[in-house]
């Protein structure tokens, strides 16, 4: 059975930092591109970042470049998103997803003072 479980969300003040984690099992994590996708309250889906299977390439949506860093640990079947200089418009549910279509249930990040 495939499992994708995000954690690390919470309430953070503007300008603060947060690190999201995603632990997976049941599929070949080390062979898959992985992504973070977010969804602001009541809004559509927005791709945030991608990382190649071996971590050698990373891509970001313009709005998070220089503030967010995606990384992975294939030995732990885990994906991460380090988020910094957080803004109110980063408030969203953040999903971890694989190129094969597996999604977690998401973790909520709220940026507010």
Partner 1 sequence: DIQMTQSPSSLTASIGDRVNITCRASQGIRKELGWYQQKPGQAPKRLIYAASSLQSGVPSRFSGSGSGTEFTLTISSLQPEDFATYYCLQHNNYFSFGQGTKLEIK
Count of residues that interact with partner 1, criterion CB under 8 A: 16
Tell me which of 21, 23, 59, 67 binds partner 1, using CB under 8 A: 59
Burial group, residue 15, by CB count within 10 angstroms (0-12, 13-18, 19+): exposed
Instruction: Report d(CA 73, CA 94) in Å as an integer.
Output: 19
Instruction: Report d(CA 7, CA 107) in Å as an integer.
Output: 6
Tell me which of 81, 95, 107, 109 binds partner 1, using CB under 8 A: 95
Q: To the nearest whole angstrom, how small is the minimum distance from the Cβ of residue 103 to partner 1? A: 4
Q: Which is nearer to partner 1, 59 or 78 (CB)?
A: 59
What DSSP string describes 30-46?
Answer: GGS-EEEEEE-TTS-EE
Q: To the nearest whole angstrom, how small is the minimum distance from the Cβ of residue 14 to partner 1? A: 26
Q: Sign of dihedral through CA atoms 106, 42, 50, 64?
A: negative
Tell me which of 29, 80, 94, 104 binds partner 1, using CB under 8 A: 104
What residues line the site for partner 1 (CB under 8 A)?
35, 37, 44-47, 50, 59, 61, 95, 99, 101, 103-106
């Amino acid at each position: 059975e495939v499992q994708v479980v995000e954690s690390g969300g919470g309430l953070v003040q503007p300008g603060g930092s947060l690190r999201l984690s995603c632990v997976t099992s049941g599929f070949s994590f080390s062979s898959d591109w992985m992504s973070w996708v977010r969804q602001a309250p009541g809004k559509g889906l927005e791709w945030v970042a991608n990382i190649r299977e071996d971590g050698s390439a990373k891509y970001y949506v313009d709005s998070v470049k220089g503030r967010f860093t995606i990384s992975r640990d294939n030995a732990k079947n885990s994906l991460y998103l380090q988020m910094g200089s957080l803004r109110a418009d980063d408030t969203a549910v953040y999903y971890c997803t694989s190129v094969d279509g597996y999604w977690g249930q998401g973790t909520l990040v709220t940026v507010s003072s």
